[in-house]
A = this chain, B = another copy of it.
């Protein structure tokens, strides 16, 4: 294993410490327990937004803390849910008196720990509502999931709910718009290589030199099938088609097209995927009105990509376009 780390037990803490030192104008890092808050603390009267999950998917979620997106993020150990002891203070730190929405990717550990963390925060007087994200169309149930997994579509939920909270929507309204995004966003990914979790020290699965896995999860959970390496356009079609069909996207609709890198994929390849995904959508009469291309929801150094499509209407478009000032998304 070759990684730019020290002791594998310290990588998350050291990384988040570095993150805090680099961006004091955007975030504030608390250690013991470890969580990240928006610089300047919660805004009084604004609904707070919190997310979190296992580390190894950076910039998700700490990179999305800032104005117009999250108030706090809770990084767990690598590919391991954060514990309630960290979740509860993060929920409390995000509370500006108008309640807090926890955005949770649908993994059993995250769901359970956020539920416990929220219960304790509620007992201490914070109103918490939870929104589960389950955008991955690849498989029902998986290694650590009952139902569908939450993957790159989480970024869309956090961005749009964050904008709603920032403009002053109340708790019910922020939950409603977050649920609306969940209902209209779908993703599917492909792995060309596995990744290595530092404390494990070896690749999380084996993939032959000429083989890729369609429908992979962001922790390397099994997908739909393994197929021989194929041209990017053919791979892109295998990712986009199930997404479009699951969304029942029709002629005349508008979407956000988000091509996400898994961490080890060159940006140039993501734009090759984007180009063909966009053409395939256009062939179906679907207009791409918003785009995002980059490595935002990753699996350490895994090579691969995912395609996310979000059905847009005027409301979601305006919230997507609203200003955001985080370290990973900024406009």
Contact = CB atoms under 8 A, between A and B. Distances in A.
A17 B277 CA distance: 13
Interface of A: 2-7, 11-12, 14-19, 21-23, 55-56, 58-59, 63, 190, 192-193, 209-210, 212, 229, 231-233, 235-236, 263-275, 278, 288, 291, 293, 295, 298, 300-301, 303-305, 330-331
A270 to B, nearest CB: 7
Given A264-B303, A268-B58, A270-B4, A17 B275 contact: yes
B193 A271 contact: no
A3 B270 CA distance: 10
13 contacts: A2-B209, A2-B210, A4-B270, A4-B304, A14-B272, A15-B275, A17-B271, A18-B275, A18-B293, A21-B278, A263-B267, A264-B264, A267-B298
A31 to B, nearest CB: 12
Contact of A269 (B4, B16, B275): B4
A207 B273 CA distance: 30
Given A21-B278, A56-B266, A263-B264, 13 more contacts: A2-B229, A3-B232, A4-B269, A5-B232, A6-B231, A14-B275, A15-B269, A15-B275, A16-B271, A22-B293, A58-B266, A58-B267, A264-B301
Contacts of A305: 4
Contacts of A271: 14-19, 22
Identify the 3 closest CB pairs spanning chains A and B, nearest first: A18-B275, A18-B271, A4-B269
A192 B275 contact: no
B58 A4 contact: no
Nearest to A268: B15
A130 to B, nearest CB: 26
A270 B267 CA distance: 17
B58 A5 contact: no
A6 B232 contact: yes
A22 to B, nearest CB: 4
Nearest to A266: B300
Most buried by B among A17, A21, A233: A21
A268 B300 CA distance: 8
Contacts of A232: 3-6
A272 B22 contact: no
A192 to B, nearest CB: 4
A272 B288 CA distance: 37
Contacts of A330: 330-331
B301 A266 contact: yes
A303 B265 CA distance: 11
Most buried by B among A269, A288, A330: A269
Nearest to A330: B330
Contacts of A14: 271-272, 275
B301 A4 contact: no
